[in-house]
Amino acid sequence: MKKKDLTKEKKILDATVQIIIDEGAAAISTTKVAKKVGISQSNIYLYFKDKRALLDGVYLREIGRLEETTGMKQMLDPNEAMIPRVFSYLKALYDFSLANPHSLFVIEQIKLLSRDFPDYIENLVGPNNPVAQLFETGIKAKVLRPIDRSLSMTIIFSVIRRHTENIQTGVYSENDASFAAVSRMIWDAITIVPYPDELLK
């Protein structure tokens, strides 16, 4: 149960992610993962006690990537003004998604498997639920739309995920649908203030 070889653990997670991307989360099996890594099937159980633990590992790693985003952190910085906080958050998430085009997809796929995974990152970031605090502050400041934040979050994630997928699958190119257009759409949905054109440096 000791986890020494972090390289191997990473390899296992990578292989699992690749299978999700190629065949969907329902296709994951320890057999397949082991074959992909080039280790024996039982070896996986040295690093993850369970298939569920393996899934947890993948899920948490993707979530973690998102959280480490500078935009994510900037969003939570209470010294910033509200509008730049929201705007840079969108920008960061947008960039993140294009740079890691599978990340949101993987998160979604794992949730498909068992519903008892925590919902998105809505309630996950750090102690005291800072996301909740930001939304409350934003609403009081009359910047964010006064509505349950889960709806705003859903829009942010679903639009960016779909946009990324569209580019990925060649529905349109990155030039056709600019960040300006996409972020403005989201902005109009989740805020009640005009889109801050000047922030588009």
Partner DNA sequence: TATGAATGAGTGTTCATTCAT
Partner DNA sequence: AATGAATGAACACTCATTCAT
Site residues for DNA per CB under 7 A: 2-5, 8, 27-32, 39-46, 49-52
Number of residues that bind a second copy (CB under 8 A): 33
- Is 57 exposed, middle or buried (CB count within 10 Å of its CB: 0-12, 13-18, 19+)? middle
List the x/- string, 141-170, binding to a second copy by CB under 8 A: ----x-xx-xx--xx--xx--xx--x----
Q: Which residues contact 89 (CB under 8 A, 6 or more apart)?
A: 71, 72, 74, 75
In 3D space, the residue among 71, 122, 153 whose CA is nearest the CA of residue 144 turns out to be 153
Binding to a second copy, residues 172-191 (CB under 8 A): 172, 176-177, 181-182, 185-186, 188-190
Identify which of residues 133 and 172 has a Cβ nearer to a second copy in the complex: 172
Quickly count: other Cβ atoms within 10 Å of residue 58's Cβ: 24
Nearer to a second copy, 181 or 200 (CB): 181
Select the binding partner of residue 45 from a second copy, DNA, none (C-beta < 5 to 8 A, by kind): DNA
Please list the residues that pair with 136 across neighbouring strands.
none
